Amino acid sequence: MKYQKRAFRVMIAVAVPVVMMAAASCGVDRKCRSDEDCDRPAVCLPSGHCGIECREDDQCNLDEICEDNRCRSACLGCSFPHADSECIHGDCRMLECHDGWNDVNGERSDGCEYACTVTMGGLEVCDYVDNDCNGVVDDGFDVMVDVSNCGACGIACFEPPNAWPDCDNGFCRYHCDEGWWDTNLDPIDGCEADECTVTNEGIEACDMIDNDCDGEVDEDIVKDTVESCGDYCVECSLPNAEPDCIDGVCRVADCHEGYIDCIITEPGCERACTPTGEETCDGFDNDCDCLVDEGLLCCPDGMAVASGIFCMDKWEASRPDATATSFGTDGSMATSRSGVLPWNTGAASGAWVVARDACMAAGKRLCGPAEWLEACEGPGEMTYAYGDDYDPDICNGIDAHCDDPYEGCGHDDYMAGIYHFHVEPTGAFPSCANVDGIFDLNGNLWEWVDDGGLSQRGGAYNCGDSAFLHECTFESSPGRPAAGFRCCL
């Protein structure tokens, strides 16, 4: 149903008579400018005709709902950082995380916020790596008490004769089996005696040995303070931290200023970090919570966050070898750069596929119609990306080059096929930008959107009625030769 509806739009747009001369190929005979010009329940269609766009949701695209006989975007910005999404008539769903990204906190708002690649088949091992990507490095291992990883990953305590090993505050110790004693205090031969012999002159010491042979070990010795912690009365001292003795194990009570504790298998506070404020997209742990750029949508170079929802190219797509004076010939992928001539796909059949494939080759995608409209209108639903009031000098349209499309540009030149209006390098009109710093959404080139090649948006440099055709909401049928595009993520 959605393709029938879109085809109907195209049929209407093609049938509209052109009232301008051929060079100014953007003109249309508008029969309505707003819904107020139509008799209810008809609405003003993008073609400028009155009609019924829909009666029910199934007659609209999957990302739209039918409201007041018009298809309206219901899932504008239905996207999640580093995750796939789908929108079915107003129901926005987060799907699978992209490779290398994980949803650890379970919050939809930041999508798959944790950059991590599963290793060891997802089985956590003590190797200072988050193997299962659950947000905790060496989860389940404690080098302060683990006999297989005592003091550090991979250091296992050996088992001496007639004794069993113990990891006490990161040091390998051993305890005698019942009926055996260590009289020579040599851990190599373990507990070598089968009867108790008084040691340490019969004075009980903190050594897990029955020094006075009274059948008790280390009686009356304090083992739960920072100065005397655990079976062997260790004095707690942890790097860059204030220690505490908890259940006989030295633990971090508080990190020293400028340090944080991020790896549980590292004693003390191992990472230097000074808070610089709220988290920003800079590859640093600004708030010192052991996570980098968490909860943020961080866009690659050449892109901007549009309305806080998705990434969009700042500039119209250009070929990799384009310059300020050459469109270039390299069609391998789309780039987003300032000061170069944009990629004009032309109006040939399948031109929108060129745009789609060029975005895919760049690791992006062709912007969808709802995304394009959101970026252009912004939160305030403005008429143009730069505001509600038309200004002929802000964006690249005919009005920016001459007062009148025909007379002002030189009537004789115009009749001779000499046109003073032309495409400009990306960003040549610095004020032609939305609040997010995305340029040339109005004018310069029409822009394909990912709707099957059914429409173009934004107007172009050769539009005779730029005030109308540059409007964010204007949706042109395909066939405009000055056709470019931009990519999204």
Q: Would you state the pLDDT for residue 123?
A: 94
For the chain, the C-alpha Rg in angstroms (whole number) is 35
CATH code: domain of residue 445: 3.90.1580.10
Residue 376 has pLDDT above 90, yes or no: yes
pLDDT of the residue at 60? 83
**What mean pLDDT is predicted for residues 10-21?**
31
> Is residue 410 within 8 Å of residue 419, measured between CB atoms?
no
**What's residue 438's pLDDT?**
98
In a domain, 132, yes or no: no
In a shared domain, residues 289 and 382: no
Task: Please state, rounded to an integer, the average pLDDT across all residues of the chain.
Answer: 85
Integer angstrom CA distances of residue 30 from 17, 266, 292:
10, 71, 52
Mean pLDDT of 150-155: 92
Same domain? 286 vs 375:
no
pLDDT (mean) for 104-119: 85
Residues 344 and 468 in one domain: yes
Choose from 112-121, 176-185, 232-241, 345-354 the range with maximum mean pLDDT. Answer: 232-241
Number of Cβ within 10 Å of residue 53's Cβ equals 22
Give the C-alpha separation, 444 to 342, whole Å: 9
- Same domain flag for 403 and 333: yes
Quick check: 98 pLDDT over 90?
no
- Kindly indicate the confidence band of residue 47, based on its pLDDT and cuts at 50, 70 and 90: confident
**Counting Cβ atoms within 10 Å, is residue 350 exposed (0-12), middle (13-18) or buried (19+)?**
exposed
Q: What is the reported pLDDT for 418? A: 52
pLDDT of residue 382 exceeding 60, the answer is yes
The CB density around residue 385, as the number of other CB atoms within 10 Å, is 25
Residue-level pLDDT at 404: 55
Q: Does residue 158 lie in a domain region?
A: no
Q: Return the DSSP state at 377.
A: H
Instruction: Looking at the structure, tell me whether residues 301 and 228 fall in a common domain.
Output: no
- 403 vs 484, more confident: 484
User: Higher model confidence: residue 338 or residue 466?
Assistant: 338
Question: What would the mean pLDDT of 258-272 be, rounded to a whole number?
Answer: 88
Q: Note whether residue 326 is domain-resident.
A: yes
**Element at 452 (helix H, strand E):** none
Higher pLDDT, 266 or 259: 259
Taking only the tens place, the pLDDT of each residue in 428-447 is: 999 999 999 999 999 999 99
- Looking from the CA of 22 toward its CB, the CA atoms found within 13 Å total 4
Q: How high is the pLDDT of residue 30?
A: 45
- CA 396, CA 462: separation in Å to the nearest integer? 9
End of a domain among 250, 269, 294? 294
For 279-318, how does the pLDDT look when each residue is reduced to its tens digit (9 = 90+)? Answer: 888 889 999 988 888 777 889 999 999 988 889 999 999 9
Residues 251 and 384 in one domain: no
Stretch 380-406: mean pLDDT: 85
Kindly state the average pLDDT of the residues 41-69: 82
- Residue 171 inside a domain? The answer is no
Tally of domains in the chain = 2
- Tell me if 178 is assigned to some domain: no
State which residues form the domain around 312.
297-489
Over residues 315-355, the pLDDT tens digits come to: 999 999 999 999 999 999 999 999 999 999 988 778 999 99
- Burial group, residue 376, by CB count within 10 angstroms (0-12, 13-18, 19+): buried
> Is 208 part of a structural domain of the chain?
no
Last residue of a domain, which of 255, 278, 294? 294
Q: Which of 243, 264, 294 is the last residue of a domain?
A: 294
Whether residue 87 is contained in a domain is answered as: no
Same domain membership, residue 455 and residue 360: yes
What pLDDT shows up at residue 315?
98
What does the pLDDT read at residue 366?
94
Query: What pLDDT is recorded for position 462?
Result: 87
Both 378 and 274 in one domain: the answer is no
Q: Counting every residue, how long is the chain?
A: 489
b/e per residue, 171-210, with b = 16+ CB within 10 A? ebbbbbeeebbbeeeeeeebbbeeebeebeeeebebbbbb
54 within some domain: no
Q: Which residue has the higher pLDDT, 352 or 35?
A: 352
- Residue 8's pLDDT is what? 30
- Beta strands of 114-260 (E only): which ranges? 114-115, 163-168, 171-176, 224-225, 228-229, 241-246, 249-255, 259-260
